Amino acid sequence: MMNRIALLYCTVVLTFGAGLLSTVGVLNAQDAEPGLARVLISPPYVADEYRSVREMFRDPDQWKRCREYADGISLGGAQLNKSFSDDDLKNMFDGLKAMNMTFDLEVWAVKKFEPVGSKQFRSHKKWFDRFIACGGKIHAIAIDEPLNGTEKVEQDLAYAVKETADFIELVRKEYPEILIGDIEAYPHFDADTLIDWIDALQAELKKRKVRELDFFRLDINWSIFGKEMKGRPLSRHPDAGPRTGSWEDVLRIERHCKSIGLPVSIIFWAANHGTLKRVDLVDEKTWYLGVMRMGDDYFSHRSAGANQFVYQSWITVPSEILPETKPYTFTHSFLEFAGKFLKNKRSNRQ
């Protein structure tokens, strides 16, 4: 999950809201943050190199009901640039406009193959300009785990702050209308480290007089909650002892973000798939069961109040994205998720 370069995403981003859930198990319309898409959907690149995304816009009836819940689509910038021709891009952007859906991207600022934020920006600018030239309007970008990239190049938190802030500053200057968020892995990075990171990055941006993050997204490996992990990567207290993940710490991160006015996003995925696959206990239902379990676990907490949820797969499952009428495809599983955990359809949230 940490290395999602092939990623991007099968994401359904339930966008950010200012209020808490008033009823356990549902996301209410009033939770949506003005200006941000509330629900995004994006199929996994690694399953078919976005061939299904092309099909989604050639035959939109195959995911018609999904659009009752999803407000937009989120895809990997590098992967989209590589796999789509200009004609493919134009067809997708025309479709999104006709459907009144937003277009979001996942991007890189610090990665092992290029850990310098300003150099990453130069590559991304080419993709952004190409997408815009083909008729796209980039609504938001989410930076893929710069802390993980920093750890891989054996640098510290200060390095991550500097390079990520450099990237954000350049994007803000060139594309001021684009919303910018950050994605980080939990519990690989413990709650205290993530809170330190958020505060340090926001402070650096404020010092530079650059608009701060528009959202913070948690990439949660809930399948290892309760298991002791050695070390505390990038922590100010690396010798504090073993760490374990918990929903209580997830909610603590949420509360901190809300206390500083930063909308929170949660990725929903089948984190247990890899473990089950290693012991040959997977079938076509595994993704569906895993993501529904995460929904049950998260929404069982009455204080759960993330503003955005991302229904995402960057792994090889589900193997089929369409149609939404076929059990256990990505789009069908999303409908099941949405029916249980989303209170209002998109038509009721306008």
CB 199 within 8 A of CB 236: no
Q: What is the pLDDT of residue 317?
A: 87
CB 75 within 8 A of CB 122: no
Torsional sign, CA 273, 343, 13, 229: negative
Residue 142 bridge partners (DSSP)? 106, 181
CA–CA gap between residue 103 and residue 92 (Å, rounded) = 10
Torsional sign, CA 31, 36, 42, 46: negative
State which CATH number among 3.40.50.720, 3.20.20.70, 3.40.50.300, 3.60.15.10 fits the domain covering 13-348. 3.20.20.70
List all residues 6 or more positions away from 31 whose beta carbon is below 8 Å from its beta carbon.
Answer: 16, 17, 18, 19, 20, 21, 38, 305, 307
Is the pTM for the entire model greater than 0.75? yes
Q: What is the pLDDT of residue 37?
A: 58
CA–CA gap between residue 308 and residue 268 (Å, rounded) = 10
| CA-closest candidate to residue 188, choices 256, 234, 253 | 234
Q: What is the pLDDT along the chain (350 residues), one digit of tens a residue?
A: 444 433 333 444 443 333 333 233 343 333 444 455 577 887 888 767 899 899 999 999 999 999 999 988 999 999 999 999 999 999 999 999 999 999 999 999 999 999 999 999 999 999 999 999 999 999 999 999 999 999 999 999 999 999 999 999 999 999 999 999 999 999 999 999 999 999 999 999 999 999 999 999 999 999 999 999 988 899 988 877 788 999 999 999 999 999 999 999 999 999 999 888 888 888 889 999 999 999 999 999 988 888 888 888 888 889 899 999 999 999 999 999 999 987 777 755 54
Q: What is the pLDDT of residue 101?
A: 93
Q: What is the pLDDT of residue 278?
A: 87
Q: What is the pLDDT of residue 12?
A: 46
The C-alpha R_g of the chain, in whole angstroms, comes to 19
Name the residue ranges covered by the structural domains of the chain: 13-348
CA–CA gap between residue 84 and residue 67 (Å, rounded) = 22
CB 263 within 8 A of CB 214: yes
Q: What is the pLDDT of residue 347?
A: 57
CA–CA gap between residue 63 and residue 59 (Å, rounded) = 8
Residue 102 bridge partners (DSSP)? 72
Q: What is the pLDDT of residue 314?
A: 87
Residue 103 bridge partners (DSSP)? 73, 138
Q: What is the pLDDT of residue 39?
A: 79
Q: What is the pLDDT of residue 16?
A: 35
